[in-house]
Structure formats: C-alpha cells, structure tokens
Structure 1
C-alpha cells in the first residue's frame, strides 16, 4: 500500500508538471519526475520491494531523467533561437525588398521626367496646357450638370411630398363631408 501511495504521488506530480507550459525548464522537470517514477518502479522490481531500493531507483532515475530533460530543453531553446533568427532575417529581407522596389519606382519616375524634359518643346508644353484646360473645363461642366440634376431631383421630391399631403387633406375633408368621420 505504501508503494502504491508513493507511486501515485509521483504520477500526480508528473501530470502537474506537464501542465506548466510556461516553465522554461519543463523538459528537465518532466525528466526528473518521469525518471524518478520509472526508477522507483524499477527499484521496486529489481530489489525485493525494499523502500531503500525504491528510493535509490527514484533518485537515480530522477538524476538521469533530469539530464535527459536538460538536453531536450537545450535543443528546444536552440530551435526557438534558430526560428527567431530565421524570422528576423526574413523580415529584414522583406524590408530591403520593399526599399528596393521604392527606389526602382522613384528612379523610373525620374527617368520618365528626364526623358520628357529632353524631348519636349515649347509647342509640347502649350499642347499639354491646352489639354489640361480642356479636361478641367469638361470636369467643371459635368459637376455643374450633376449639381443641377440633383437640385431638380430635390425639387421633384418636395413637390411629391406636397402632393401627398394635399391628397391626404382632401381625403379627410371628403370623409367629413360624407359624414364618415
């Protein structure tokens, strides 16, 4: 009964330790507990079930499990560090790529401006200004036409509302005249 109780306590401790996700030494702690439980069981089986054999097996198993758990923790830390480094390098590459794309766009825009400057004449400038004035005038005319159509639509809606109100008043008067009040 004493062995069963000790084994149960160790198993419960192992279950509790596995639930601690934020523990930085989780592998070591699990290794110690698992090693102690398995070492205690092995000590009980190899010895004559004597408490000294159980304790010696638990201590030896805990030590070996702790060493194995430390190795697991170190490997996990190395993997996390390597992943963080890869993520950092990727982000730096993305930033460099975005800067390069911006530089290319700026250079292309400058090249186009320079090309226009080299090849344009006074007649080209005058033609471009005439076209800009024509487009602006067309835009102004369309804006004016739109505003006028909106004003007409509002006036129609107001007139329809007045008609509806007048029809309601007429219907009310007709009911009163016919005695249907």
Structure 2
C-alpha cells in the first residue's frame, strides 16, 4: 500500500469523523476510524507491507481505537449527567432561597402588625382613620383640579383650532375679493 493511499484514507477518515458532531457515540466512531487508519498505516509499514498486514493493523487499530473512544463517550456522558445534576441542585437552591425570603418578609410584616396591635390605643386608631380620610380628601381634590385643568386645556385647544379655521376662511375670502384666486 503506498503512502499516498494511506494519507488519503487518513484524510477521509478525519473528514468523516468531524461530520459526526451530533452522534452520541462520536468518540467510539472516531476512535474506530482513527485506530483503523493508523493501524492500517502501521501494518503497511511492518513486514512486507502486504494486504494481510494492512488489514490486521486496521482491525487491531480499530478495536483499540473503539475501546478508547468508548471511554471518552462514557466520560462525556458522566460529565453531562453531573452538570445536569448541578443545574438541578442550583435551581432547587434558588427556589428554596426565594421561598425563605418570602417567609421572612411575611414574618416581618406580621411582626410589625403585632407590634402596632400591642401598642395601639383607640385614640391611635381614630387618629390614623382621620389622617387617612384627610389624605383621601386631598387626593380627591387634586384629582378634581387636574381633571378640570385638563378640560380647560381641551377647550382652549378646540378654540384655537376654530380660530385657525376661521382665519383660513377669512384669508380665502380676501383673496377671492381681491381677484387673486
């Protein structure tokens, strides 16, 4: 077997191997191909370089390459499983943290309510209700004033539009009277 043929086989094997990107047994397949090619080349270099040496080298190389590739595939699967497990554990930890923070917030709100309940008197309740009514009345007055100002602004805009339209009509009539039309 000549060296050009061996080089061609090696190049074709590497091209084929890189085309198997989504193959789950990619390591095994690449190992078999690379081992067979390299074993065939080694077999061609040994002894008389006959076909039997090339075939024997290719078979032995393919078998050894397949075994090595299987180990690579298994390790890759283990790494992917470990990463999936880490991701799952991280998500569980995030959920637990969010739940804990929510519980802390709820407890803090309850603590504040309880503290107010222990210290509040009837006069405090009356004062709080009076203040709430005052703020609500102030809000209602401001809302009413805002709505009235918006209504005035709208009326002014409408009046300005009417003025502009009337001025256009006057200008048109003046042009017609002067014969400029």
- Structure 2: distance between partners of 1:94 and 1:51: 63
Q: Which moved more, 1:42-51 or 1:109-118?
A: 42-51
For residues 142-165 of structure 1, give each alpha carbon's deviation from its aligned partner in whole angstroms, at most 9, with x where no partner exists: 000000000000000000000000
Q: Retained in 2: the 8 A contact 1:25–1:73?
A: yes
CA distance in 1, matches of 2:95, 2:44: 61
TM-score (norm: length of structure 1): 0.95
Is the contact between residue 6 and residue 41 of structure 2 (CA under 8 Å) also seen in structure 1? no
1:120 is matched with which residue?
120
TM-score (normalised: structure 2)? 0.95
**Equivalent residue number for residue 78 of structure 1:** 78
The Cα of 1:17 is off from its aligned counterpart by: 2.8
Q: How does 1:64-143 map to 2 (within 5 A)?
A: 64-143=64-143
**Structure 1 residues 2-11 or 158-167, which shifts more?**
2-11
- Cα displacement (A) at 1:80: 0.8
Which residue in the other structure is 1:29 paired with?
Answer: 29
Q: What stretches of structure 2 of length at least 5 have no aligned partner?
A: none
The Cα RMSD (Å) is 1.5
Alignment partners' CA distance in 2, 1:161 and 1:35: 88
User: Distance in 1 between the 2:47 and 2:33 partners?
Assistant: 20
Equivalent pairs, count: 181
Give the deviation of 1:19 after TM superposition.
1.7
Distance in 1 between residues matched to 2:123 and 2:53, nearest whole Å: 106
Deviations 1:84-128, CA, capped at 9 Å, x for gaps: 111111111100000000000000011011101110000000000
**Residue 175 of structure 2: aligned partner:** 175
